[in-house]
């Protein structure tokens, strides 16, 4: 094709005009939304009495272009149904979603009026990569059949009232990166099978009623960076295997459980960014959790346990910003190096510490209560040593 730029301005004007017309055509007359999918969505709208979140779901517009929370593939098949956050959506999870065979993203969340159980129909949505029922009012078990959704990347069932055990079948979700089962009423053990999900980066199971020891298999998760297990009734200590965590950044929160006994010394080898062990019954020595080589460690909370070790010679990690060792049986004096750390939060109260608080600007900024109730700590911000 040999179109020169001479004397083509009229031609190009016409050409542009044609393009313009055809684009108008596209948006006005060519709907791409698949009719079956559209009818399924209109059924859901009517099932929930045209709740406000469905206002844009107008039968005369294109569901793929004009409906909020809906996305389609190039063939007009619905791939996303994501609605959330109103009080007027009242009822159960709509089972008719099974008639959206191309659905990949399903968010039906922050609906306090959505109750009942997770319907078995969900198991048929095998293309799902993202399932979010967080902050609804769902009850019953976390069903076994969720283990059939092999393409899941993210599952969020947090903030409901699910009961029963975490199904071992979730270990079959080998593409999962993030699982949030927090703030429910789940009981029984954390299934060891979760250690098979090599892709797992975040495992949130905080605020439940989980019991038994933490499974050693979790240390086999090479990408894990968030492990909040706080507020459960987990027993035992930290598994020996946790020393083998090689992850470059790992936040572990085991606070408010029934964990007890000494921490295995192998755990000193793990690369941890934040470790929160407060409100348990851990005992013995924890000084090996610190160290010059622990360069990524920024938060250490050992508070409200029965740890008993000398603090004078602890080799404090240079990056510590938050340090809480309060309410233990820690003895000795505060290491000189404490005054040089970039501390934002510090609490050493209610221990058996003694001697002069390291001098310098940093430590005297903290409230005296953060040093109080020790055997004989003295110096600013406490009264001078005598
Ligand atoms: C709900 O919306 C549909 C269109 O989506 C409309 O036909 C119907 O009359 C509405 N129903 C109520 C009760 O408003
Ligand atoms: C539907 O969406 C298309 C593309 O975003 C837009 O051009 C059109 O004006 C919308 N139609 C209505 C009725 O909102
Ligand atoms: C939590 O678990 C304990 C022991 O497993 C049980 O006795 C208790 O009833 C459970 N509480 C709730 C709220 O499920
Ligand atoms: C956990 O500790 C609490 C308080 O000490 C106790 O009431 C509860 O029975 C313990 N639960 C388990 C599962 O050991
Ligand atoms: C903690 O120390 C403060 C200030 O010295 C004192 O008033 C308080 O009684 C102590 N509390 C306990 C429980 O020992």
The answer to whether residues 273 and 299 touch, using CB atoms and an 8 Å cutoff, is yes
Please list the residues that pair with 229 across neighbouring strands.
none
- Whether the per-residue pLDDT at 21 is higher than 90: the answer is no
What's the total number of domains in the chain? 1
Would you say the C-alpha torsion 95, 97, 101, 102 has a positive or negative sign?
negative
Mean pLDDT of the chain: 92
Question: What is the average pLDDT across 223-250?
Answer: 93
Rounded to the nearest angstrom, the distance between the alpha carbon of 156 and the centre of ligand 4 is 28
Atom of ligand 4 nearest to the CA of 258: 1
> For the whole model, what pTM was predicted?
0.88
H or E segment to which residue 170 belongs:
none
Q: Cα separation of 164 and 288, whole Å? A: 38
Nearest to 150 by CA among 172, 165, 134, 132: 172
Neighbours of 305 (CB within 10 A): 26
Q: Is residue 31 part of a domain?
A: no
Q: Is residue 56 part of a domain?
A: no
pLDDT in tens, 88-110: 999 999 999 999 999 999 999 99
* Ligand 4 binding residues, C-beta < 6 A: 211, 233, 235, 258
- Whether the per-residue pLDDT at 1 is higher than 60: the answer is no
Q: Is residue 50 part of a domain?
A: no
The answer to whether residues 366 and 376 touch, using CB atoms and an 8 Å cutoff, is no
Least confident of 56-65, 355-364, 365-374: 355-364
The answer to whether residues 114 and 135 touch, using CB atoms and an 8 Å cutoff, is no
H or E segment to which residue 41 belongs:
helix 35-47
Q: Is residue 53 part of a domain?
A: no
The answer to whether residues 114 and 93 touch, using CB atoms and an 8 Å cutoff, is yes
Mutate to test the pocket of ligand 4, among 214, 258, 259, 282 (most ligand atoms within 8 A of CB): 258
30 pLDDT tier (thresholds 50, 70, 90) = low
Q: Is residue 14 part of a domain?
A: no
Mutate to test the pocket of ligand 1, among 46, 47, 48, 58 (most ligand atoms within 8 A of CB): 46
Q: Which domain holds residue 333?
A: 77-378
Nearest to 303 by CA among 217, 214, 223, 230: 230
Q: Cα separation of 127 and 134, whole Å? A: 20
What percent of the chain is predicted at pLDDT more than 70? 92
Please give the backbone phi and psi of residue 39, each rounded to the nearest 5 degrees, phi first: -65, -35
Instruction: Find out whether the beta carbon of 209 lies less than 6 Å from any atom of ligand 3.
Output: yes
Q: Is residue 304 part of a domain?
A: yes
Q: Cα separation of 113 and 92, whole Å? A: 8
Give the domain CATH number at 192: 3.80.10.10
Instruction: Find out whether the beta carbon of 66 lies less than 6 Å from any atom of ligand 2.
Output: yes
Q: Cα separation of 257 and 259, whole Å? A: 6
Rounded to the nearest angstrom, the distance between the alpha carbon of 209 and the centre of ligand 3 is 6
Q: 3-state class of 107 per DSSP?
A: strand
Q: Cα separation of 149 and 145, whole Å? A: 8
Q: Cα separation of 72 and 65, whole Å? A: 8
Q: Is residue 59 part of a domain?
A: no
Q: Is residue 265 part of a domain?
A: yes
pLDDT for the residue 11: 45
């Amino acid at each position: 094709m040999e179109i020169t730029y001479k004397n083509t301005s009229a031609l190009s004007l016409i050409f542009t005009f044609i393009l313009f017309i055809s684009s108008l055509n596209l948006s006005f007359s060519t709907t791409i939304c698949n009719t079956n999918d559209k009818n399924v969505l209109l059924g859901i709208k009517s099932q929930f009495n045209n709740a406000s979140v469905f206002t844009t779901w107008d039968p005369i517009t294109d569901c793929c272009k004009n409906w909020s929370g809906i996305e389609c593939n190039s063939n007009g098949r619905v791939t996303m149904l994501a609605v959330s956050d109103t009080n007027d959506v009242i009822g159960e999870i709509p089972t008719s979603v099974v008639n959206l065979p191309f659905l990949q993203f399903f968010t039906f969340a922050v609906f306090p009026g959505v109750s009942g159980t997770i319907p078995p129909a969900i198991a048929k949505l095998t293309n799902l990569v993202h399932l979010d029922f967080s902050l609804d009012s769902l009850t019953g078990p976390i069903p076994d059949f969720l283990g059939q959704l092999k393409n899941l990347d993210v599952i969020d069932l947090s903030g409901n009232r699910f009961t029963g055990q975490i199904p071992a079948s979730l270990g079959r979700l080998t593409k999962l990166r993030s699982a949030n089962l927090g703030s429910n009423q789940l009981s029984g053990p954390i299934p060891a099978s979760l250690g098979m999900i090599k892709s797992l980066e975040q495992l949130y199971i905080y605020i439940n009623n989980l019991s038994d020891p933490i499974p050693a298999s979790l240390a086999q998760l090479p990408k894990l960076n968030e492990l909040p297990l706080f507020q459960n009734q987990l027993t035992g200590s930290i598994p020996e295997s946790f020393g083998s965590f090689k992850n470059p950044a790992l936040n572990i929160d085991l606070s408010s459980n029934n964990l007890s006994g000494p921490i295995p010394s192998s755990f000193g080898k793990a690369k941890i960014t934040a470790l929160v062990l407060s409100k348990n019954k851990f005992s013995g020595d924890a000084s090996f959790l610190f160290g010059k080589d622990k360069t990524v460690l920024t938060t250490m909370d050992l508070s409200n346990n029965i740890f008993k070790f000398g603090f004078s010679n602890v080799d404090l990690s240079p990056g510590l910003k938050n340090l809480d060792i309060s309410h233990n049986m820690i003895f000795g004096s505060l290491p000189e190096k404490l005054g040089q750390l970039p501390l934002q939060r510090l609490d050493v109260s209610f221990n058996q510490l003694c001697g002069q608080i390291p001098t310098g600007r940093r430590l005297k900024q903290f409230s005296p209560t953060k040093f109080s109730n020790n055997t004989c700590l003295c110096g600013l911000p406490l009264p001078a040593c005598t």
